[in-house]
Structure 1
Amino acid sequence: MEFFIDIKEKGEKIEAEFYVISEQNNNKIITKPQDSRGGGVVDIISLAIRIAMMEIHYPKIEGPLILDEPAKHVSDDYIVNVAEFLKNVSSMFNRQIIMVTHNSHLLESGDYVYRVTLNNGISLAEKI
Structure 2
Amino acid sequence: MNKWLPFVSYVREADGKQMGVGKKYRATYEFPIIGEYDMMYRIVDYAPHKKVVVESDFFLKPHVEFHFFEPKQDECKMEVRVSFRRFSYLYQYSLGPILHFLTGQQLQRSLFLLRMVFPY
> TM-score of the superposition, structure 1-length normalised?
0.39
Return the index of the structure with the highest Cα Rg: 1
More strand by share: 2
Greater relative contact order (Cα 8 A, min sep 6): structure 1 or 2?
Answer: 2
> TM-score of the superposition, structure 2-length normalised?
0.41
